[in-house]
Amino acid sequence: MLGLPCPHAISYIYYASRPLEEFIAKCYSVEEYNKTYAHCLQPVEGKAFWPVSNREKPLPPRYVRMPGRPKKERKRQDGEKKKPPQGKLSKKGTTVRCRVCKGIGHNRTTCSRRTGSGNASGGASQSGNASGGASQSGNASGGASQSVREEVMVLHSLVEEAHQKGSRALHLLLLVAKDTTI
C-alpha cells in the first residue's frame, strides 16, 4: 500500500485488531516530517538584487492566428461594464403622439378617427370637435350629426395624408372635401 489507507481499509484494520502504523507509509511519520523541514530556508532578496545577464532579452512568442472567425469584441472582466448597444436608441421616456388627431397615447394605426369607431386613447383627443368638447353620447338629434361630423373629419385627415404623400387624384378630392362644411 502507498500513503494513507482509505476509511474502509482503516475500519477493517481495526476489526482485524492489527496496528494501523503497519499500513501507513513511513513518509507520513512525525520523524520524517521533522527531517524534511529541519534545515532553515534562507530568504530570497528582492528583484533589485538579482544579477543582470549580458545576453539579449528574450522576445515574446510570435502571434499565432487561431482557426475560425475572429471575435468582434474582447472578453470583458467580471467588474467591467458592458458596452452600450450601437444602432437603435431606447424609446424609454418618450410619449406616443397620433399623426391623425394629434392625441397622446396612441398612434395613427389605432386612432379612432381613422377607423370611425370609439376613441382609442380614452377620450383625450375629442375636445377639439365642433360641438365644443361635448361627449359622443349626446342627445338623439345630435347623435346622427355627430357621426357625420366624425366621418367628414376622418375623410379630411385621410385626404390630407394622401396629399402630403403627393397623390394627384386625391389632391382633387382634397379640394372637394375642403368645400364641405362640418
Q: Which helix (H) or strand (E) holds 174?
A: helix 168-179
Q: Give Rg (Cα) of the chain.
A: 44
Tell me the per-residue pLDDT of 70-105, one tens digit each, with 9 for 90 and over: 888 888 888 888 877 777 777 788 888 888 888 888
Tell me the per-residue pLDDT of 18-65, one tens digit each, with 9 for 90 and over: 888 888 888 888 888 888 888 877 777 888 888 889 999 999 999 999
pLDDT of the residue at 124 = 42
Contact 83, 73 (CB under 8 A): yes
pTM comes to 0.22
Q: How far apart are CA 94 and CA 84, in angstroms?
A: 20
- What letters, b where the CB count within 10 A reaches 16 and e where it falls short, cover 25-44? eeeeeeeeeeeeeeeeeeee
